[in-house]
Amino acid sequence: MKKTAFLFPGQGSQSVGMAKDLYDEYAGVRELFDMAGDQTKIHLDRLCFQGPMEELTRTVVLQPAVTLVNLALLHVLRKENITPSLCAGHSLGEYSALCAADVFSPQDTVRLVHKRGVLMDREAEKYKGTMCAVIGLSWDQVADVVSGFSQDGEGKAVTIANHNGETQIVISGDPDSVKKAGEKLKEQGGRVMPLKVSGAWHSPLIRGAVEEFGTVLDACPFQAPSVPVVFNVTADVENDSGKIRVLMLDQLCSPVKWYDSMIRMLDEGVETFVEVGPGNVLSGLLKRIVPEGFPGKIVPVNSMKSLELFFKDGI
């Protein structure tokens, strides 16, 4: 069997109607939705299937909703005895990756991401923040600019939040500082695009969530991964459950090293990348990362139709 990686998306992949076809087809998916509704006290089935988008994209709803769809698709893949050699997840998606690697149960996965969303939303209300994508500049070029916007007593800061591609980077911070940093990055030849987000994710502006979320993580049982997981914070694997707990806490305010994580997977000899979740954002990023002439497959699995094609074609 070819070496296969499961990649799980996070915020930004959602759409109204996601997983409705899976819900109609599989009793196990309906059980997942029932469980998640009980855990969160949110009508996730209604919001995923009917929206409205404005409500679905609220952080406190979106984090468990996207995770639930990821887990629904994972459930179907497991029913067909399709398992990964490695896993990774983009930011929020890392929790789904850990569930796929049996570090968390589905119940604990939903509980953790719901609490994570509540705490992140709380901090975003305290410290207004925003994010921008920067295209065409390297990590070093962007880091040099944002280093000029250091944290101060008023919570003003800019930091790199995501390294999504070799020259595709996301910065995060308070709106005024992000705007000024964006202007400097444009002067250096970068293309800067504001993102529709409700907070400065992966930045010091949400560090107020760290202590309380640490308590939540401490109360959650962590198992050693059944398959290797490449982590956002380090772009490396980790097998020690105690160290994984620390990585997941650090992830809140640390950059997502997605580009380096994908390079690590390519170095590990992954031939088939399966994006397990709504949309195809990670597949799009990966197509710009793999070398020209990459002989393997990049497959977004996000619906019954895509699952059927995947099962027909094989890994």
On whether the CB atoms of residues 7 and 274 are closer than 8 A, the answer is yes
Cβ-based neighbours of 285, under 8 Å, separated by 6 or more: 164, 165, 168, 258, 262
Tell me which residues are annotated as active site. 91, 202
On whether the CB atoms of residues 158 and 149 are closer than 8 A, the answer is yes
Please identify which residue in the block is written with the tokens 């309906």: 30
On whether the CB atoms of residues 224 and 239 are closer than 8 A, the answer is yes
DSSP E strand boundaries for the chain:
4-8, 86-89, 130-135, 158-165, 168-173, 191-194, 272-276, 297-301
Ramachandran region of residue 293, left (φ > 0), alpha (ψ -120 to 50) or beta?
left
On whether the CB atoms of residues 174 and 156 are closer than 8 A, the answer is yes
Ramachandran region of residue 283, left (φ > 0), alpha (ψ -120 to 50) or beta?
alpha
Strands 191-194 and 130-135: antiparallel
